[in-house]
Amino acid sequence: MKIQLPIKLELGRRELALIVGLAFIFFAGAVGMHALELRAAGQHVAQLEAVGAQQKAKLGAIDAQASRLAVELRRLERQNAEIRHAIGIGSTKRRSSTHAMGPHRVTSFVGVESRLARVARDSERARKDTLELRRLVARVLNLRRLEAIARVEMLARVPSIVPAGNGEIASSFGFRTSPFPEFHRGVDLAADYGDVVRAAAKGTVVWAGWDGGYGKKIEIDHGNGIRTWYCHLSRIAVVDGQSVVKGAPIGAVGSTGEATGPHLHYQVMEDGKAIDPAPFLEGRGAKILSLDTSGTLRR
């Protein structure tokens, strides 16, 4: 047997309004919560985009700095190569890795770090090269300065001026018959009595006094085995051991000793052997003493 119980739900206006109100409140709350979640998500996305933009800007700035450093490094390497060429020590075969980078822009921090590491290695190498070049340049300049000083000093000691008169040779070097047959070991320079006699080169006086047939004589040592004699003087103006410079007055023309008249007997000695003084007068002649590349005197 089926028993049916009739259920009758009657709601009044008040209850219905309460139910509708509660449902609206629940719906409105759900919508509000969803809106808040969307807003929070949007803000988070905006923050992430801002952080990404900042990172991208920093990445670009770092990469641009690396590019500037690479350009400066290449400029420094070119300068180093030019200096090496200028001082004659050759060029380096090494090539920095920055040369192969090109003008591209890296887009990751890993790429930037790698590039900066390469630039740092090349910069350190270039810095060491520069320091080494500075030492080499200083050494080369010092050697060249010393070489120039030595050359000036050596040239100053090479007899190259006419010691008296105007350079006219009254009697040449070699065998002669007048005033009597003999081997003439110097040249007789025509000059007037009392004319100034000057040192033909820088040196040290090793003899200043009477020397038999040479009369009053001055002998100057110029170094490198070269000595000059000035004979038949009327007056001596220097003493033994005195240093003289090229062109310094050392005495006066006379006719002392075995001389037939006023003149200057001028003699050049090389390693104790008389040589022809003619090429030394005013630096004339292909046989004038000069300096070779080793800084020594040659004929």
Q: Which residue has the higher pLDDT, 192 or 284?
A: 192
DSSP state at residue 289: -
Q: pLDDT tens digit string along 236-269?
A: 999 999 999 999 999 999 999 999 899 999 999 9
Nearest to 92 by CA among 71, 68, 76, 103: 76
Q: pLDDT tens digit string along 64-120?
A: 766 777 777 777 777 777 776 766 666 555 555 544 444 444 455 666 667 667 777
Read off the tokens for 160: 């190259």
**What share of the chain has pLDDT > 90, as a percent?**
33
**Predicted local confidence at residue 146, as pLDDT:** 73
**Predicted local confidence at residue 127, as pLDDT:** 73
Q: pLDDT tens digit string along 196-226?
A: 999 999 999 999 999 999 999 999 999 889 9
Q: pLDDT tens digit string along 35-44?
A: 677 777 667 6
**Lowest pLDDT segment from 81-90, 161-170, 173-182, 200-209:** 81-90
Q: Taking 60 as the threshold, does the pLDDT of residue 148 lie above it?
A: yes
Read off the pLDDT band of 286 (50, 70, 90): very low
Could you count the other beta carbons within 10 Å of the beta carbon of residue 91? 11
**Predicted local confidence at residue 242, as pLDDT:** 96
Q: Which segment, 15-29, 155-169, 278-292, is predicted with the most confidence on average?
A: 155-169
- pTM above 0.75? no
Residue 222 near residue 163 (C-beta atoms within 8 A): no
Integer angstrom CA distances of residue 117 from 60, 73, 111, 127, 289: 16, 13, 10, 15, 60
- For the chain, give the mean pLDDT: 77
**Predicted local confidence at residue 180, as pLDDT:** 74
Integer angstrom CA distances of residue 53 from 42, 62, 67, 115, 242: 16, 14, 21, 21, 86
Read off the pLDDT band of 279 (50, 70, 90): confident
3-state DSSP call for residue 238? coil
Read off the pLDDT band of 178 (50, 70, 90): confident
